[in-house]
Amino acid sequence: MDFLEMIGQPFMQRALLAGMVLGGLLAGLGIFVTLRKMAFFGDGIAHSSLAGISLAILLGWSPLPVALAWALMVALVIWWLEKSVRLPSDTLIGIFFTASMAVGILVISRTEGYQPEIISYLFGNILSVGKGDLAVILTLSAAIAAWLAISFRRLTFMSLTEESAAVAGIRIRLHSALLYVALALTTVLGVKAFGIILVSALLILPAATSRLLTRNFRSYIVVSLILSQITVLTGLALSCRMDLPSGAAIVAVGTALFFLGAMAKKLWK
């Protein structure tokens, strides 16, 4: 079926809305992920959510709320341990990433029969976003986007010069914790659409590509957001046109844009 024909279908409308909202939010948060060099965080949180998803499936509950709660707990424990035991965040993320994966695999091994839902969460299926999922995605995304808009300058200033920001009265610990929570929730919301394995690409690729092409902060933000929308829309269109898995098609488009950006930068230099 043609992409334009499919847009008339409710499942495709839900997919487009979820993809564009989550793509934009992940790109916005990706600015801080690249600035604070925490690209591994998104990957770690996404993989950690497997434990929550597996537990929910074992207990017969809805996977998304359980995965969100699990990721929230992991993010806050990482944030607390960073200051308490003074270990680098990538070490802590590595520990919780693998520990949660282990919990997930152990739980899956106790679940009888083939579990297609787990495969759908591993690789993502944006076309399977239901009305309930969309309501959760839109509600949480609106809350996170509102917080991000209010805190954007504070987050940027503290990401550049943490001590100057602290002296200026910015509550560093509180804003770091909220950033971790926002990243964890958005990443897990993205897991449903883009998959555990692929979601972190949407956090990194638009921000990384935009960085290659821009010289000032305002254009960096705008180009990141535009690239995220191009990535999601083109990926979905390709997925429909060529009957490809949607998550993989979206990430492939984002990666292609990154390489085009890298070549453009090389040529302009």
Residues binding other proteins (CB under 8 A):
35, 37, 153-154, 156-157, 160-161, 163-170, 211, 214-220
If one counts every other C-beta atom within 10 angstroms of the C-beta of residue 131, the result is 8
- The minimum distance between CB 33 and other proteins, in angstroms, equals 12
If one counts every other C-beta atom within 10 angstroms of the C-beta of residue 80, the result is 14
Task: Using DSSP, state whether 71 is helix, strand or coil.
Answer: helix
Long-range contacts at 58-65 (CB < 8 A, ≥ 24 apart): 58/107, 58/110, 58/111, 62/132, 63/117, 63/121, 64/133, 64/136, 64/188, 64/189, 64/192, 65/136
109 vs 216, which CB is nearer to other proteins?
Answer: 216
- The minimum distance between CB 160 and other proteins, in angstroms, equals 5
Backbone angles phi and psi of 112, in degrees to 5: -75, 145
115 vs 151, which CB is nearer to other proteins?
Answer: 151
- The minimum distance between CB 237 and other proteins, in angstroms, equals 29
CA distance 168 to 166: 5
207 vs 248, which CB is nearer to other proteins?
Answer: 207
111 vs 156, which CB is nearer to other proteins?
Answer: 156
CB 100 within 8 A of CB 184: no
- The minimum distance between CB 85 and other proteins, in angstroms, equals 14
CA distance 183 to 26: 8
102 vs 149, which CB is nearer to other proteins?
Answer: 149
- The minimum distance between CB 213 and other proteins, in angstroms, equals 9
CB 38 within 8 A of CB 200: no
CB 48 within 8 A of CB 97: yes
60 vs 169, which CB is nearer to other proteins?
Answer: 169
- The minimum distance between CB 176 and other proteins, in angstroms, equals 15
